[in-house]
Amino acid sequence: MQEHFSQYIPRHAASGPIRVDIDDTTLRDGEQTAGVVFANEEKVRIAKLLDEVGVYQIEAGIPTMGGAEKEAVSRIAGMGLNCSILAWNRAVVSDIRASLDCGVDAVAVSMSSSDIHIEHKLRSNRQWVLESIKQAVEFAKAHNLYVSVNAEDASRSDMEFLLTFARTARDAGADRLRFCDTLGIMDPFNTFMKIKTIIDVTGMDVEMHTHNDFGMATANALAGMKAGARFVNTTVNGLGERAGNAALEEVVMALNFVEGVKLPLNTAKFRELSEYVAHASGRPIPTWKPIVGANLFVYESSARASGVIEDPANYEVFPPEAVGLTRRFVLGKYSGVDSLKMKLAEHGITMSDQEAAAFVIRIRSKSVGLKRALVDEELLDFYQAEKASVAEEAAETAAVGPDMLDRAVAQAPEALAVAIELEGAEESDHGR
């Protein structure tokens, strides 16, 4: 798949580089996460970090809300950042005037395009929708703004009307269409076909705005880009309403390492950015979070740890520093001799193979009792308490020569025996 991805994405010119632009909406849709509110100083800091990462555009907020929201958008627009600053608006001229007051260079003009929204949310009709879009876009373009027209609930819209919606926006001067999978109900295959149809029929630039209700936000964003969408809407950590939006860090790294499309972004700042947004939003980063989760480069399993020690490429697609993380090894139920010796060497302690084999059995047993891995301080304390008996057992082993693992299985509790069996299975089948 990777070698074919580039043929789908628009280029600057016939011989120019592939272009995909990130429009990050952490400060707008991310803040619409239920229960999340960013202080203005936090919004300014997040905007600075996003600019340092190198996103193309920041959706800074909704100026028509007034008060602190309008003040924050104005501050961000006046910071002299390298990226474009976009403000969100309804298809209402007064909203766009509020955005102009803030000094932004781009606006999103949002309008529902599905019949269920038009009838039951807007309580209007298709013709009114088209007239509202036309009026709002023409006003924005008359004031020299870049205009994205957002087709809210596009994934549930009648395709013929959605195409009419897009053509109306295009003919009024809109620069792009944002395709919103508002309820996250698309799959990558349908996404590809819908986006390709829109681009083929209208010739417009398209932006992907995908939600994660069924866990496919990133996949659908990629599918849309394969179909020719040039822009993608993201949020840091995948914040957003309900199950959230496509995560900035996931989209960028998937483009790079899955699809072979490298964006000119400073991904080494991803963890810093994610941590700050997590703190500001009160939504901690799960340890298993893709790309920036704390466990992404933490190894306990003997086979995995040994493989990484031998060559990180055995179990890593990209190095931890690529996203601002570090590689760590922890000692627990599934640990082996190699990772134990390496971990102790970090603290200036050397062990023979026989000593390590004796000690790792004790570590596994202790880990089962604690129901977790040992932190470094616990490991060192445990080593001091056990080193005499470990040395004695290692000496006996050297003299008699029994297989340490066989002895451990015979003497260990059932759970520990299963762990050791699993280790043996892993080490005999690295290809699994």
| Tokens encoding 290 | 């893709």
| Tokens encoding 191 | 């996404």
Q: Per-residue pLDDT for 414 more than 60?
A: no
pLDDT > 70 in the chain, percent = 88
- What's the average model confidence in pLDDT over 290-317? 91
**Of 389, 401, 334, 395, nearest in space to 359 by CA:** 389
Residue of 414 and 361 predicted with greater confidence: 361
Q: Per-residue pLDDT for 413 more than 60?
A: no
Cβ pair 81, 58 in contact under 8 A:
yes
Q: Per-residue pLDDT for 293 more than 60?
A: yes
Helix (H) or strand (E) holding 110: strand 106-112
Best mean pLDDT range from 4-8, 143-147, 300-304: 143-147
pLDDT averaged over the chain? 90
Pick left, alpha or beta for residue 136 (phi over 0 → left; psi -120 to 50 → alpha; otherwise beta). alpha
- What's the average model confidence in pLDDT over 173-189? 98
Q: What is the pLDDT of residue 10?
A: 52
pLDDT-derived band at 9 (thresholds 50, 70, 90) equals low
pLDDT > 90 in the chain, percent = 78
| Model confidence pLDDT, tens digit, residues 202-212 | 999 999 999 99
Q: What is the pLDDT of residue 300?
A: 86
Could you write out the DSSP letters of every residue in 376-396? HHHHHHHHHHHHHHHHHHHHH
| Model confidence pLDDT, tens digit, residues 182-198 | 999 999 999 999 999 99
Q: Per-residue pLDDT for 13 more than 60?
A: no
Ordered domains of the chain (ranges, CATH): 2-281 (3.20.20.70), 298-428 (no CATH)
| Model confidence pLDDT, tens digit, residues 56-82 | 999 999 999 999 999 999 999 999 999
